[in-house]
Every structure is written in structure tokens, then in C-alpha cells.
Structure 1
Amino acid sequence: MRDIAESIAVWQAAGVRFAVATVVRTWRSAPRRPGAAMAVAENGEVYGSVSGGCVEGAVYEVAREVLDSGEAALRTYGVSDDEALEAGLTCGGTVEILVRPADDAHFPELPYVLGRITAERPVAVTSILSGDLPPGGNLVVAPDTPDGSPGGSPSSSPGVTVRGTLGDGRLDGAITEQARGMLAQGRTGVVRVGRHGERRMDRLAVFVQSFAPPPRMLVFGAIDFAGAVARMGKFLGYHVTVCDARPVFATRKRFPDVDELVVQWPHRYLEEHPVDGSTVICVLTHDPKFDIPLLARALRTPARYIGAMGSRRTHEDRLARLREDGVPESALARLSAPIGLDLGGRTPEETAVSIMAEIIALRWGGTGERLTRTELPIHH
């Protein structure tokens, strides 16, 4: 829902009634992951996607029915001879979709959720899928102290704001703890518990959708290639920072769309700002006076990806300097340099595609090979 949050916030502000369809479970080669969402307004307008086009028409009709009835619906779409050309997944997968009304009566917590999402603050939304309770119901969990505003409720867990209910206090408490853990890991998925939150697997399936802050991309070196990488990073959902020690290059005119533009020595910036396991670091300066102290620091962080631009000769010189600085071989092995996949590109934009392709492959375990030359699953 993150990608349609701003659009549906406009609907809500205008008093437009709408329903939200969310992918909650997938099997085999489904085209969208759990959490993908599509919103359908009472005037027929649509935002988002749940399958890349395979079942949108069928889900649209379900959403219209949900708007009329005011009751949530759970639908499963697979592929069969009868469904393949009508409402099936031609990719061969199966997808389960929860469709629920999103008006004040059925989802009063939505403005709070949208506010957290647009402010890039963590929040989790939980909903019952199956069991002896009807689908729907919303319990919203955010890792803050209760703010006392309307709709907030005291939580049994300190430092957590809880809004809404799944219909049972003990169930709410158990799911709150589950949601906290999944939100901390950025995980979205289904958990199974007993009717009152017991550690049982046979009663209730509850969908937990985590909206963790977007991962960070740190781009060092305010060059043309950095502009293309930053644009691609924004497109792929990263919170993008561009940092360079040279104020003549690090300007808003050259980088109008980045989230943060910093004029500072790169290694000093990295020393002052925390890096977590979802952060990607792209070092594009290929200048030893910037690169060496920066990479020596970067390789001590838990960053998911660290890549550095430069020729193979430049990289060999870089490795020698880092070894002289005492960087161990195990850390040097984490460095992706020359940066990117071998796509044969030349322009800054083509180079940015190469870099982002490597980052995506590393994140999801892809090989970087042409799919036509592999027999691996398309969606790992």
C-alpha cells in the first residue's frame, strides 16, 4: 500500500468511498508479493496493482461488491483451463487477496496509518483472514509511546501505540507482540494463533503487513553517474542521500529529487550517521583521497551492499591502499568493484541500471544471468 498511500489519502480527504485489495498470501510463481495493493473508488477510479494485470479485472468487481455490502471478502486466484484467460494467473502461481472497505466506519485507523507511511515512520496493520472470526478487522501497531490522540489506546507493551482491535483483548495482545517483531525485521506475512492468542496453529490466520521505513541508499560523489543512480534508487523505493565534500557539485539544481543532499567529507558523514543491514552504499568518486577513508569506514558497517566505481586498475590500487590501512581480507571481499553487472552500458543511465541490477540481484539472491539461459525459478 505504500506506493498508493498518497493517492488514497487524497480520496479520503475528499470524502471518496473506496475499497483496498491486498495480496496476503502467494504460492509458486505469483507476480506480486504479499502487501501489494490496489484501491478502487466508488466512482470507478483505480490505483495500484495486485497481479500486474492477470486478475485485476476480477478483483475490481469484488471491490465494487465490497463497497456495496460493507463486508470484507477473501478471494483466491490460481490458474486452470477455465480461468487462465478470464481471472487466472497465467504465470502458474496462486494468490490470495483480502478486499475490505476503507471508510471511517470500517477502517477508522487508516488516516493514522497513511500518516505514518508518508512520514516514513514504521507501522504494522494486522487483519484476520480465516478462522471462526470473519475476515477483516484491523489492529494497528506502531513502535511509539501512546500519543493520547483520538483512536489511540493503552498498550500492555511499553513504547507501543495500538489502535483498533481484532475482536478479543488477549488476541490483540498476542498479535501486537508478533507485529512488533515482524515490523522490526521488515517482514510481511501470515501468522497463526489460537482464538484468544494462544500458541496454536489451528484456529486463526492473521495477516501482518509491515510498513518499515524505506531502506537507505548513500551515494558518495556528486557526479553525473550519481544523478542517474539517485533517480533509479528513488524509483525503486530507497531513501536517497547524495554526499560530496565539494559544494560546487553537490547542489539542488543538479540533484533536485534526492531526499538528502549533504556537503561534507564522505567518511565523516558515515562516522556520524548509523548504517543498518538494509543500507546500500555506492562510492562513485573514484578519487583515493575520498575513497580510501570512506571505504575503510564503510566496510566496518553492516551495510547490505558496498560498491565502488573505477577501472580494474583503479580497484587494484584501491585494494592495496585499504590493505595498508589494515582492512582485513574478509572485509575487502564484501566490496563490489568495479561496481555493477556486466551489461555493456556506456551512459550514466545505463550504468545506473547496471548498478541497481547488481543491488537487486544481491537482495533477492538472483544470479544476474539471462533467464533464458537458466532453469531457476523466475521469482526466488
Structure 2
Amino acid sequence: MLDIADDLNRWAAEGRDFAVATVVSVGGSAPRGPGAAMAVDGGETVIGSVSGGCVEAAVYDLCVQALQDGEAVVERFGYSDEDAFAVGLTCGGIIEVLVTPVAVDAPDRAVFAAALSAAARGEAVALARVYKGPAELLGRPLLVTPKGEEEKENTYEGTLGGHPELDRTAAGESRALLAAGRTGEFVVSESGTRCGSAVTVLVESSQPPPRMIVFGAVDFAAALVRAGKFLGYHVTVCDARPVFATRARFPEADDIVVEWPHRYLRSTVTDGRTVLCVLTHDAKFDVPLLAAALRLPVAYVGAMGSRRTHEDRNRRLREEGVTEDQLTALRSPIGLDLGARTPEETALSIAAEIVAARQGGTGLPLTGSRTPIHHEGPIGARQGADHQGPSRRALRVRTV
């Protein structure tokens, strides 16, 4: 649901009824992972996607039905050679989808609306919902926010519909997933739910956009800014030269900073999702900057330059005390080998390397390769599980 928070937040503000289908588990090869969502409003307008097209029509029908009867359901879509015309995933995978109606007069409407509003504003928020367990608990929302130093322990809103102990347990588990920036699941045993049955809970996490910091206000930087925005990064351009670091040259950047790169890096906030792209290929900027960058726990550090520049830069970095282990984290020359020439092609090659690093891809052609098409990235949700449904009444299984 939080996957399409911007549009759903607008629907909620406009007072629309809608139903949301959310992928809760996947097995084998599937186009999209847990958290992917599709929604249908009362006027049968559709947004989002759960499968890239394979089962969208069937999921649409489920959403329309949920709006009519007001009940949450879980449906499984799979694949079989026995019936080539039935609804299923032609890629051979299995997905389970939780369909939740969110009517204007629904008791949980305010909780859903608060979660969507927070996610649309770019705030850190988690939304927990039961998808396996007693039918009366399906789809009930629990909104969880990070716990501040002076906040009370129960920083959550709503209920999963069972015992308060279930809500407290779910809030703690959800907060841990939120801190890691992950969408995932957990199981609460029968004794922990106090409702006579174990439950499986999906937690969708929404975090502020990850940062991409582009050092060097060069021609290639403008194209990389556009690529970074396309990938969903909050993009900052930093250069010590005010004549180059201007809004006119980088209209799509979120921030433009005129400062020596290494000084800015030491003063700004980074985390394990931050991407650092060094395009200056000038030793007086690069060496102090990379010496600082390679000591930070960030997701990616890449530097532009020829192979000769790379070797000279590595020598200077060793003289600055950068260790061999730290040097192995440097992507230089930056980008994948696409034969890129233009700034746009170069930006594509850098963006492709960033995606491969984030998702655990090889960067090799898929043609003739036996590597997985859909990787489970470092922060991706677990795949490959073959879950059973919550109950016979709530789960309708379609195996194709």
C-alpha cells in the first residue's frame, strides 16, 4: 500500500472509497516483491501494479468485489502447464495478494489515511497488517513510527484486531523492520496473539528517499542528476566553484551546495543507503573527498577518471592512510561497461552499476546467463516462501 502512497493519499483526501491489493509473499520467480500494490477506487480507476501485467485483470476484479462486500481476502496466483488459459504468472512464480477495502466509513479509515499521509510526506512509517490467521483479523492496520528518545513505548496507532499484547509485539517487530528500511514479515505464535491462533504479519516500511550526492558540477553531472531523480534519490550537487554549481545548470537537483567536497561530506548526514558519485577527476578534490568517503558506511562510492587517473588516485589515497580493504569499495572507473560516450549514456552506465550494487546484480547480459532475473537485494524482502493461506474462508487459491 505504501508503494503507491502519493496517489492513495490524494484519494483519501478526496474522500474516495478504494480497495488495495498488496503482494504479501512471493515464491520462485515473480515480477514484483512484497509491498508492491495496486488499487481500484469506487469509480473503477486503477493505479499501481502487483505483477507487471500477468494477473492484473484478476486482481482488479478482486478489488471491485472487496469494495462491494467490504471484506479483506488473500489470493494466491501460481502457474501450471495443465491449463494454459487460466489466470497466473507466466514467469513460473507464485504470489499471494492481500486485498483490503478502505471505505470512507470503514473503522480503520483514519489509520490508513494517517499512514498514507506520512509516507507521502516522506516520513519514516511502517504499516503492519495480518495476512495469515483468523479471517476477522485480515487487513486490519497498525501504524508504527520510529521511537524517539523521549517518546513513550507505544508509538503506534490502530490495532491488528486481537489482544493488546499482539499489537505491542507487532509494533516492536515493525519498528525493527522500519529501522532497517525493509518490507518483510514476521509470525506471532498462538500464545503471543492471545486470540487462539498464530498470525503472520506483513510490514510495509516507508523511509525518506535515499540520498545521491554528486560531487563535481560538470556536464556529466546534469545527466546523472536526472538519472538519480528517476531512480527515486534525493539528489545533491556539490562543487567548490560557485560559477558551476548553480540552479540554472542543475534545475532538477534537490540541493546545490557550494563547498569543498570533503568538508561538505564530513558535515552532512549519510547512511547505509547513500550513494556518492565523484565526477571531478581532479586530485585536489578527489583525494581528500574519497579518503573521507571510503571510511563511511554508505551504499556506493564511485569515482570518474581514466585507468591512469585511477591508479594515481589509489596511490595518493594509500599515502593518506586508506587501507586496501577500504579501497576495494571504490568503484573506479565509475559505471558499467556500456561503451558510453555521451553524458546521458555515461549517466545510464553509472545508474546501472548503482542498481546492480543495490540489488546484488552481476551487470552481465541476461541472455545466455543462468543467474536469477529477480535478485533478492541486500534490503529486499525474503522470497521463495511457499505459504498457506489464512483460512479456507479467506483464501481462494488459483494454481495455473
What one-letter code is carried by the residue in structure 2 that aligns with 1:162? Y
Question: Is 1:114–2:116 an aligned residue pair?
Answer: yes
Matching residue of 2:97: 97
Question: Is 1:246–2:241 an aligned residue pair?
Answer: yes
Matching residue of 1:140: 143
CA spacing shift, 1:229–1:111, aligned 2, 3 Å: same
Deviation at 1:3, TM superposition (A): 4.9
CA spacing shift, 1:315–1:177, aligned 2, 3 Å: same
| Segments ≥4 residues shifted beyond 6 Å | 199-202
Question: Is 1:124–2:119 an aligned residue pair?
Answer: no
Question: Is 1:174–2:174 an aligned residue pair?
Answer: no
- 5+ residue gaps in structure 1? 148-156
What one-letter code is carried by the residue in structure 1 that aligns with 2:111? E
CA spacing shift, 1:57–1:302, aligned 2, 3 Å: same
Match of 1:287 among 265, 273, 282: 282
Partners of 2:194 and 2:285 lie apart in 1 by 53
Deviations 1:20-54 (A, max 9, x none): 11111000101001111111111111111110001
Partners of 1:56 and 1:191 lie apart in 2 by 27
Question: Is 1:27–2:30 an aligned residue pair?
Answer: no
What SS does the corresponding residue of 1:247 show, helix, strand or coil?
Answer: coil
CA spacing shift, 1:210–1:312, aligned 2, 3 Å: same
Deviation at 1:144, TM superposition (A): 4.4
Deviation at 1:240, TM superposition (A): 1.5
Deviation at 1:82, TM superposition (A): 5.9
Deviates more, 1:101-110 or 1:211-220: 101-110
Deviation at 1:268, TM superposition (A): 0.8
Matching residue of 1:154: none
CA spacing shift, 1:94–1:339, aligned 2, 3 Å: same
CA spacing shift, 1:259–1:83, aligned 2, 3 Å: farther
Matching residue of 1:150: none
Matching residue of 1:54: 54
Deviations 1:65-94 (A, max 9, x none): 001111111111111246654421000000
Q: TM-score, normalised on structure 1? A: 0.92
CA spacing shift, 1:299–1:7, aligned 2, 3 Å: same
Deviation at 1:330, TM superposition (A): 1.4
Partners of 2:194 and 2:372 lie apart in 1 by 34
Matching residue of 2:65: 65
Deviations 1:170-218 (A, max 9, x none): 1000101100111111121221112453699972111111112222111
Partners of 2:315 and 2:6 lie apart in 1 by 48
Match of 1:163 among 154, 157, 163: 157
CA RMSD in angstroms comes to 2.2
Q: TM-score, normalised on structure 2? A: 0.88
Match of 1:355 among 350, 353, 365: 350
CA spacing shift, 1:242–1:196, aligned 2, 3 Å: farther
What one-letter code is carried by the residue in structure 2 that aligns with 1:130? K
Question: Is 1:224–2:219 an aligned residue pair?
Answer: yes
Matching residue of 1:13: 13
- 5+ residue gaps in structure 2? 376-400
Deviations 1:123-150 (A, max 9, x none): 1101111222431111110014699xxx
Match of 2:309 among 305, 314, 322: 314
| Pairs within 5 Å for 1:196-235 | 197=192, 203-235=198-230
CA spacing shift, 1:79–1:245, aligned 2, 3 Å: same
Question: How much identity, in percent, do the aligned residues show?
Answer: 55
- The structure with higher relative contact order (CA 8 Å, sep 6+) is 2
CA spacing shift, 1:222–1:201, aligned 2, 3 Å: farther
Partners of 1:30 and 1:186 lie apart in 2 by 21
Deviates more, 1:237-246 or 1:40-49: 237-246
Matching residue of 2:394: none
